A and B are shown apart, each in its own frame.
Chain A
């Protein structure tokens, strides 16, 4: 039996108090503490911790450039928690006073409660709150993160877009994750402008479909969405193959790194699997940025194509999570045969990466992991690094 559970039910199921235990034939579509990855503040915390740890170990992954920026792990925009890091934020803000920052409530989704600021006065509230040092713990609803806004997004047809990619994790230790080949781009209906007069116009800045679909120009046929394959074709045609491959390799890289960052703290309950919705923005230098990870990505559809995509997504996810469509046994080794992957491709398999054995997974072409042609399995961990350096 597979239990489709809401996030709240998960909390109940895994809560220590209820004493509920899942039986061997029950599997669940969330990890108990997925919020380590999916809450905006905790994700950033975990990534920062992960980077520091790698630095301490002297790992080459944590290498920095002459400005002190991580060479390979700088994929999250500068972020601070509010009110806790308010003073740190102010220091950073003053270094580049003309920058724009984006305020996001930690626990909300669908673009709710987000706004942009470019003046300290716009967030006076936290200035006051942070001064009362012995502050009683705030309810999670009050917590915000503030991140440096990427005001130079890559534009296509003059419009801003972001990428929504689906990543399935069947186990965190060892890490085994799959990337859905049919991700998509979400375009804003309105032309992008970094002009300060339009900072309040959410149709210009926020790509969430939940917001865009209320815009005047929202189209219900294509829903403002492009397939990732279209993006790839466009970039290869206008920018060249190498930079496009590099971009996609980097995207896969940052997804794997984000999962590695939270793997140590995740409750790797064997009853669990999870399909995340990754939101990525590409800037005009073709650098991808991880914006956030969603635990319950919308499975509703806004267009006919969407409906087909989401149906296939659920179908393929369940095929991997539950072998052979039989009654699940959480004790299985979570290694599905290649044929059931459907539209998923192996993104990273820690066991394979660590084993030196020559495996068919390793014999793929470097730098061309998940293109429109698909079917080429991803190189495992070790070789990922070599395609980079």
Chain B
């Protein structure tokens, strides 16, 4: 009798624990994001004070004219950016995620989590390989894929020609849902720009072009501190990239407008974060003088421009490029640098990556841990950037095809694990973090689809 009672109370205690944990987690999320946000804003404000530059100011007419003339070649403008530094880099953000803990989490309700040896200490639910195989069923060995079955050795009659024909049909019928299903097997290069626009519901109406022009006018009239951060980021990243340096000027045109686009604030409704606020000079703390800063609520970090760069291979009309990027951001990219429990959020992706590695490549995982090279420390930057700047562009586009097709970023974590699996032999021989980084420094020769297929469908689990 006593035993039953104590069992029962244990069960009740566990249930209460679970309930407490869940709402506490949401609170935790908000707290963690809140303090991170404060940190970023503080950094921005101090940069502001140090350099005696206002967060925003109206440009004098002469300057406006000059900028308008230079609009298509802002890359040649060389403002002195030496004193600016990126507000944060991915590795700073990683530290925040590592320190996320649920204080109520003492006796984990899932034993397997207690033995989780990765950096992420938040018990979110992530898929295992059988579930991933089901989710990504179209990537299986018996289904044709672009990125594999369009290679030289395969006659085009076997798959490629038919796939192209179907793609053309989908476009002709303007069927967005069909396009999303279709693109899971990859998009032919010639159809990709249109397919992505169809899936993202972008149609370039006159009012869209007008909206972009309006943003451009905002840029001409007002100068924002974040503009310098954007310049700096482009100069540091895209301008030095073998593939994207050509499009430097487009990046300014897109990102400067983006930071002024208040419609982007809309995504915060489903983002657990909230946009940073600032106050009109002299009115600190007075809510009626609070404004979102920057106007779109997104503070760019080091590497942010790389979200836009690959899109320049597809769209060369600025307002269309802008629309596509904005939609990609509010649907996908924002999840890569905000804290949430969403399955496509960066926290879940990190956990998914670590779990996959620990479960299916335990030897490698333990070895890397032993030598002080926690795998996530290397793969984090790949995932935050959705692999932009790390993969060859044609491979990156094939990867982003699947992000759109499955409406999920989980593929980033799977690819990261697949890369480690691919280089496992070399990684087993390294004895330091630096050496591990070196083995994984160059991903430009990797073929994404075979890696994914082998990892998910051809590895003995």
Show the binding face of A for B, using Cβ within 8 Å.
156-159, 187, 190-191, 217, 219, 221-222, 224-227, 229-230, 233-234, 236-238, 240-241, 305, 365, 372-376
Contact B247 A157 (CB under 8 A): yes
Residues from chain B with Cβ under 8 Å of A227 in the complex: 242
Contact A238 B193 (CB under 8 A): yes
Smallest CB–CB gap between B123 and chain A, Å?
42
Q: Whole-angstrom distance between the alpha carbons of A326 and B248 in the complex?
A: 48
Contact A237 B250 (CB under 8 A): no
Q: Whole-angstrom distance between the alpha carbons of A237 and B187 in the complex?
A: 10
Tell me which of B188, B242, B246 contacts A241 (CB under 8 A): B188
Given contacts A157-B248, A237-B193, contact A222 B241 (CB under 8 A): yes
B39 at the interface (CB under 8 A from A): no
Q: Whole-angstrom distance between the alpha carbons of A156 and B313 in the complex?
A: 10
Contact B152 A372 (CB under 8 A): no
Smallest CB–CB gap between A15 and chain B, Å?
44
Q: Whole-angstrom distance between the alpha carbons of A234 and B311 in the complex?
A: 10
Contact B246 A372 (CB under 8 A): no
Contact A222 B313 (CB under 8 A): no
B73 at the interface (CB under 8 A from A): yes
Given contacts A156-B246, A222-B242, contact A373 B393 (CB under 8 A): no
Residues from chain A with Cβ under 8 Å of B316 in the complex: 238
- Contact sample, A vs B, 25 pairs, CB 8 Å cutoff: A157-B248, A157-B250, A159-B246, A187-B246, A190-B76, A217-B75, A219-B239, A221-B242, A226-B243, A233-B393, A236-B190, A237-B189, A237-B192, A237-B193, A237-B313, A238-B313, A238-B316, A241-B189, A305-B242, A373-B150, A373-B152, A374-B152, A375-B152, A375-B153, A376-B152
Contact A238 B242 (CB under 8 A): no
Q: Chain B, 226-264, contact with A by CB distance < 8 Å: what is the 0/1 string?
A: 000000000000011111011111100000000000000
Contact A158 B76 (CB under 8 A): no
Which B residue's beta carbon lies closest to that of A374? Answer: B152
Given contacts A157-B247, A237-B314, A375-B152, contact A217 B76 (CB under 8 A): yes
Residues from chain A with Cβ under 8 Å of B153 in the complex: 375
Contact A236 B189 (CB under 8 A): yes
**Max count, chain A CB within 10 A of own CB: residue among B240, B314, B316:** B316
Contact A157 B246 (CB under 8 A): yes
Q: Whole-angstrom distance between the alpha carbons of A234 and B192 in the complex?
A: 11
Contact B246 A226 (CB under 8 A): yes
Residues from chain A with Cβ under 8 Å of B151 in the complex: 373
Residues from chain A with Cβ under 8 Å of B287 in the complex: none
* Interface SS majority for chain B: helix
Q: Whole-angstrom distance between the alpha carbons of A157 and B244 in the complex?
A: 10
**Max count, chain B CB within 10 A of own CB: residue among A158, A240, A365:** A158
Contact B243 A230 (CB under 8 A): yes
Interface positions, chain B 365-387, Cβ under 8 Å from A, are none
Residues from chain B with Cβ under 8 Å of A221 in the complex: 240, 242
With A158-B72, A159-B246 already in contact, 13 other A-B pairs whose C-beta atoms are closer than 8 Å: A156-B246, A157-B246, A221-B240, A221-B242, A226-B242, A230-B393, A233-B313, A237-B192, A238-B314, A238-B316, A240-B190, A373-B150, A376-B152
Given contacts A191-B73, A219-B239, A222-B241, contact A365 B190 (CB under 8 A): no
Given contacts A233-B313, A237-B313, A238-B193, contact A219 B245 (CB under 8 A): yes
Q: Give the total of B residues in contact with A, Cβ under 8 Å.
A: 33
B54 at the interface (CB under 8 A from A): no
Tell me which of B152, B240, B394 contacts A233 (CB under 8 A): B394
**Max count, chain A CB within 10 A of own CB: residue among B73, B151, B315:** B73
Contact A191 B72 (CB under 8 A): yes
**Max count, chain A CB within 10 A of own CB: residue among B72, B156, B313, B315:** B313
Q: Whole-angstrom distance between the alpha carbons of A6 and B248 in the complex?
A: 40
Residues from chain B with Cβ under 8 Å of A159 in the complex: 246
Residues from chain A with Cβ under 8 Å of B47 in the complex: none
Smallest CB–CB gap between A303 and chain B, Å?
9
Q: Whole-angstrom distance between the alpha carbons of A233 and B187 in the complex?
A: 13
Contact A372 B394 (CB under 8 A): yes
B430 at the interface (CB under 8 A from A): no
Contact A233 B189 (CB under 8 A): yes
Q: Whole-angstrom distance between the alpha carbons of A227 and B156 in the complex?
A: 25
Smallest CB–CB gap between A154 and chain B, Å?
12
Smallest CB–CB gap between A186 and chain B, Å?
11
Interface positions, chain B 10-57, Cβ under 8 Å from A, are none
Residues from chain B with Cβ under 8 Å of A157 in the complex: 246-250, 312
Residues from chain B with Cβ under 8 Å of A375 in the complex: 152-153
Q: Whole-angstrom distance between the alpha carbons of A236 and B75 in the complex?
A: 26
Residues from chain B with Cβ under 8 Å of A222 in the complex: 240-242, 245
Smallest CB–CB gap between A147 and chain B, Å?
26
Q: Whole-angstrom distance between the alpha carbons of A296 and B203 in the complex?
A: 50
Residues from chain B with Cβ under 8 Å of A219 in the complex: 239-240, 245
Smallest CB–CB gap between A156 and chain B, Å?
6
Residues from chain A with Cβ under 8 Å of B192 in the complex: 237
Smallest CB–CB gap between B132 and chain A, Å?
29
